[in-house]
Amino acid sequence: MSLTCSIRNIIPPAVPNIIASTGTGARYWLVLGTSGEAAVTITRRSFCASLAAGFLSAIRPTGAEQPVTIMDMAGREVHLPALPKRIVLLEAHDLLTMSLLHPDPASLVVGWAAVDRIDSELLERLLVNGHTISVAGKQSPDTVSLEGLIGLAPDLVVTTSFMTPQGNGESIAERLGQFGIPVVFSDASSNTFVGARDSDPVAELKASMKMWGVLLGVSEKADTFVSFYERELAGITARISGTKPITTYLEVQSTLDDCCWAAGRKVWGDLLALAGGQPLPGVTAPWFEKLSLEYLLSTPHDVYIASGGGWASGSRPAIGPGLDPKLGRQGLQRLIDGRPAFGHLPSVRARRVHGIWTGLITNLPLNILFVAQAAKWLHPEQCIDLDPVAILDRINRDFAAFPIEGPLWASI
């Protein structure tokens, strides 16, 4: 849907208190109060956006649905007049979380951004499920426009702090709120207090599923998933209780030409800790840290876990839904053979080299698969009966709108 905004077509001659500025390509109008005083100056862009928002809200159907209130991942209480039916996702991989709760989530999504971060062509096709979803932006916030979002007539925009940063002025999220379009944040890093405390992936998973359960009207199914997650995690915790953490080089970006990006203490590091591991002692950054090859070679560690996915699979291990498992193993071997002296790493010499699909980290509901598989790699004796494939099968059988194909990890 597109709207052409022309001041001559919008303002009838009988409305004297809106005065257009003169000149070719005029950009500003002065809106006068009833007594003739200047009330506000607006730009053509903001005027058109306001007009579009008003027009679109006017044509939205009204029904007897009850309003809903959620607490989003930024800790904000957000009120919606009804369950959303036209959602824009500024992080496209949120659709995967929706797919664990809703049988056809793409039927509710009219736009999305950062589609490449789904990191699997097969998964993208399955998520779309034959629907048409407009691209609202790419992988950075500067590719998202207020006018583009309003033009999609959403009744909800789901975003993150990365995709809608505050900057020096009003963020897109704040502007959308001014136009009556509710905005919720789907990532915990959007919470301004997150840096003041330790991150907690389990608490974040529970909060995320509760939020989506309310938004999709399936709170009971969301609670069932959380219970399933907690049971599986408790089983892993019991198996590795009392074991010594295994020092692990966990790599957030595994490409031939850019070594060596270690996972930090938060998020990836938190999940590694749940699996009975710990980062290299020199890693102090919260999110990720670039290490020198010399440091890696001289620092004892037991296991190397690389990351891979669907994009740029020629330079990073091709690991993910729909990809040939042989390609993942070949990609891991290519990292070892193609990086100078990498074959001399303690973990490589011990032949404890593994790789994961990044989606197991970036998608909160799939974190349990990373924890399970990593625990099996780090503590093989204690976790001999732990079956991550069975966990994936349970997710596919009881929750997923479509099967998420494995394997989502590889080893050499």
3 state DSSP class of 148: helix
- The one-letter amino acid at 110: V
Q: For residue 204, is it within any domain?
A: no
Question: Which structural domain, as residue segments, surrounds residue 17?
Answer: 7-59
Q: For residue 2, is it within any domain?
A: no
Q: For residue 298, is it within any domain?
A: yes
Residues 34 and 100 in one domain: no
Is 385's pLDDT higher than 70? Answer: yes
**C-alpha distance from residue 226 to each of 235, 364, 390, 395, 399 (Å):** 14, 11, 17, 12, 11
Q: Which two tokens stand for residue 53?
A: 């928002």
* 334 close to 319: Cβ distance less than 8 angstroms: no
pLDDT band at 315 (very low <50, low <70, confident <90, very high): confident
The pLDDT value recorded for residue 59 is 40
Q: For residue 139, is it within any domain?
A: yes
- The one-letter amino acid at 283: V
For the chain, what is the mean pLDDT?
85
Residues 147 and 287 in one domain: no
Q: For residue 246, is it within any domain?
A: yes
Least confident interval from 128-137, 271-280, 308-317: 308-317
Is 299's pLDDT higher than 50? Answer: yes
pTM for the structure as a whole: 0.83
CA distance 54 to 49: 9
- Of 280, 272, 220, nearest in space to 249 by CA: 280
Which residue spans within 256-386 are E strands per DSSP? 258-263, 277-278, 288-290, 303-308, 353-357
Q: Which two tokens stand for residue 60?
A: 């939205």
The pLDDT value recorded for residue 407 is 87
Q: For residue 187, is it within any domain?
A: yes
83-108 core/surface letters (b: 16 or more CB in 10 A; e: else) = bbebbbbbbbbbbbbbbbbbeebbeb
